[in-house]
């Protein structure tokens, strides 16, 4: 995948006024907290190489050549997304390029619960890492949670993070399913940082 570094318009606005990465909250999500989910190795694993029993295959054009990504869904991801979509404003925030992540999400989000999609151009490049700066979303930081397998992604907001292990192909993994009751409980707390501060 191309390593071109793109910076979010939130950091280089045309008129000098910072613009949130997300639009105003939709009426159906008013009163909900914002759950930011990583994609690769958190919800799915993708490979250039053919994978036995891939859940789906996504063709992507990269530098004038077509590549086929073989995508495996993490166990429990369908139910996880469905349940999270009923209680959160769900945002997918990935450091991947949209040309890959968009078609993956088209196939992954079978219940159509993902409210917003953010890609590499919305990340902040910090010391060679793609950081997901939650303060740029336009949502109250006390009501924002990020679920990500890479601690570097949430280095600016560690107290908003629910760490998750990297997933590649373990069919017995139950981490997403196990997190559902914990994340459901977080919807009722006044400031998620007070709870997540001790999670790591």
Assign residue 93 the CATH number of its domain.
3.40.50.1000
Whether the CB-CB separation of 42 and 153 falls below 8 Å is answered with no
Establish if 71 belongs to a structural domain: yes
Answer with the residue of higher pLDDT: 102 or 65.
102
Q: Give the pLDDT confidence score for residue 3 in this predicted structure.
A: 31
55 is catalytic: no
pLDDT exceeds cutoff 50 at 9: no
pLDDT average, residue stretch 28-47: 98
Q: 5 in a domain, yes or no?
A: no
Please indicate, yes or no, if residue 73 is contained in any of the structural domains: yes
How far is CA 132 from each of CA 8, 21, 150, 162, rounded to the nearest angstrom? 10, 11, 11, 14
| Domain encompassing residue 74 | 28-196
Q: Assess if residue 2 is contained within a domain.
A: no
Among the options 40, 109, 133, 148, which is catalytic? Answer: 40
Q: Is residue 9 part of a domain?
A: no
What confidence tens digit (pLDDT) does each residue in 85-129 have? 999 999 999 999 999 999 999 999 999 999 999 999 999 999 999
Q: Which of 15, 38, 78, 102 is catalytic?
A: 38
User: Which residues lie below 8 Å from residue 153, measured CB to CB, with a gap of 6+?
Assistant: 38, 95, 129, 130, 131, 132, 146
Structurally, the chain folds into a number of domains equal to 1
Q: Please report whether residue 57 resides in a domain.
A: yes
What is 10-43 written as a DSSP string? TTS-SSSS---SSPSPPGGGTT-EEEEE--BTTT
Q: Which helix (H) or strand (E) element contains residue 158? A: none
* Domain-embedded: residue 16: no
**Average pLDDT of the chain?**
91
Residue 62, pLDDT score? 83
Strand (E) or helix (H) holding 169 = none
pLDDT in tens, 137-174: 999 999 999 999 999 999 999 999 999 999 999 999 99
Active site residue 40: yes
Tell whether the model's pLDDT for residue 5 goes beyond 90: no
The residue among 8 and 4 whose pLDDT is bigger is 8
**Is 144 within a domain?**
yes
> In the numeric block, which tokens belong to residue 199?
């999670």
User: Which residues sit opposite 59 in a β-bridge?
Assistant: 68
Residue 4 has pLDDT above 80, yes or no: no
| pTM given for the model | 0.90
Residue 83 scores a pLDDT above 70:
yes
Burial environment of residue 77 by CB neighbours within 10 A (0 to 12, 13 to 18, 19 or more): buried
């Amino acid at each position: 995948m191309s390593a071109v570094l793109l910076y979010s318009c939130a950091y280089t606005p045309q008129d000098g006024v910072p613009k949130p990465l997300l639009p105003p909250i939709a009426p159906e999500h008013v009163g909900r907290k914002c759950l930011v989910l990583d994609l690769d190795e958190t919800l799915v694993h993708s490979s250039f190489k053919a994978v036995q029993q891939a859940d789906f295959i996504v063709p992507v054009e990269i530098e004038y050549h077509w590549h086929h990504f073989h995508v495996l869904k993490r166990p429990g991801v369908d139910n996880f997304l469905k349940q999270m979509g009923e209680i959160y404003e769900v945002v997918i925030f990935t450091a991947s390029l949209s040309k890959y992540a968009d078609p993956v999400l088209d196939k992954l989000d079978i219940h159509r619960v993902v409210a917003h999609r953010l890609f590499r151009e919305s990340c902040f490049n910090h010391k060679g890492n793609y950081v997901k700066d939650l303060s740029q979303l336009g949502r109250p930081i006390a009501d924002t949670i990020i679920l990500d397998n890479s601690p570097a992604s949430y280095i600016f907001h560690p107290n908003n993070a629910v760490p998750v292990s990297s997933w590649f192909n373990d069919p017995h993994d139950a981490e997403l399913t196990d997190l559902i009751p914990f994340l459901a409980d977080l919807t009722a707390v006044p400031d998620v940082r007070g709870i997540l501060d001790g999670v790591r």
